[in-house]
Amino acid sequence: MLKTTVFSQIIRGEILADILYQDQYITAFRDVSPKAPIHILIVPNIQISTLNDVLKSDTYMLGRMVMTAISIAKNEGIAESGYRLIMNCNKDGGQEVYHIHLHLLGGRPLGAILDR
């Protein structure tokens, strides 16, 4: 049994969030601790703990996450200037919530991906 996550609670409407998009597969909402002027999280409505737990049957949902990110980037006015999509996996990858999610970041130059 998976431990319920804050994302699961947002999806079910138990926690308020600025939801930009929701359908039967995914939910997209603004991050409460943004790392860029535009920071949106796109999550599957089913809880998948890490990218390592993704199944072949999840392919459509993952594609839908990316296509939704592209659409939101256009709606937010950052598609032409550029944006970044990030998925973290496990502790060393920077994952904090164990419910996979795609970060859509933009609204300013984002610089290098890694601190070195």
Q: Which residues participate in catalysis according to the annotation?
A: 101
Q: Which helix H or strand E contains 27, and what residues bound it?
A: strand 26-30
The CA-atom distances, in angstroms, between 52 and each of 49, 56, 89 are: 8, 11, 8
User: What does the alpha-carbon distance between residue 112 and residue 100 come to, in Å, rounded to a whole number?
Assistant: 23
User: What does the alpha-carbon distance between residue 46 and residue 76 come to, in Å, rounded to a whole number?
Assistant: 26
